[in-house]
Structure formats: C-alpha cells, structure tokens
A = this chain, B = another copy of it.
C-alpha cells in the first residue's frame, strides 16, 4: 500500500478518530475500511445515521487517492459525495469497500459498497475527488 502522507492533525483527533473509522487497505484500485456501530453513530431511532455512510466513504476515497498521488506532488480534496441508503444497520460493523472507476489528471471517481456483518448491501456511495498540485510549503 502507498504510504500515507504526514498530516497536520493527528489521525485520532480527526473525524475518523471521533467516529472510530478503521482504514484496512488502500491501493490506487481499491480500498477498504469499517466502523464499529454504537449509539454515538446512530440517529435517534437507533439506526446508523446516514452521515456515517457518507463519512466513511469520503474518508476511504480521500485517503486512497491522496496516498496514490502524493509522490507526484499532488493533493486530493473531495468534490462530491452521492450516497443512497438501502437497508438499516443497527449493530456490528459497517464494512465499506471502494473500487476506483476513474483516475484522471484532475479528478478520481470511486464507487463504494457498504455492507453489514451478514454481507447485505446497506448503502452505496459515489465519491469524486479533485486532484491538484500541492501548495508550496505543504
């Protein structure tokens, strides 16, 4: 896996740390992560909040893109996140697998499947990343 570039905010203090997102694997082609379900990730009716699926998708696509383009002097920032919710999750893990669909000079596009611990599809995301030259000094 490409090395993760150093960052100003330590990982455990970011949103990923707040939510407990675990990044398990990342390459320019695919990436995987998961998050353990608990009340702090739910909406008031006891289901995992839709924003959690969006967040884990955004994190996985961002890290995989950023790691892949870093050695070329580029950074990656999110442009859009389209997530459809298919089945509620109430316990276990949200398991997310990302497939890279496009690696362009200025944009990368990922599609992500979110499944529960029984392997059932619970949400799908499409994340578009902008790839830009790294600012001087960054």
Contact = CB atoms under 8 A, between A and B. Distances in A.
Interface of A: 7-11, 13-19, 39-47, 49-52, 54-59, 62, 75, 77-88, 101-102, 104, 106-107, 109, 111, 121, 124, 126, 128, 130, 132
Given A80-B85, A84-B109, A126-B126, A40 B15 contact: yes
A8 B43 CA distance: 10
A52 to B, nearest CB: 7
Q: How many copies does the complex hold?
A: 4
Given A18-B41, A101-B121, 18 more contacts: A8-B44, A9-B45, A15-B51, A43-B59, A51-B54, A51-B57, A55-B55, A80-B80, A80-B85, A80-B128, A81-B81, A81-B83, A84-B102, A84-B128, A86-B104, A86-B109, A106-B106, A111-B124
9 contacts: A8-B45, A11-B44, A51-B56, A79-B84, A79-B107, A82-B126, A86-B104, A87-B102, A101-B121
A50 B40 contact: no
A9 B58 contact: no
A51 to B, nearest CB: 3
A19 B43 CA distance: 12
Q: Which 6 A-B pairs have the closest CB atoms?
A: A51-B55, A7-B44, A54-B54, A15-B49, A50-B78, A50-B58
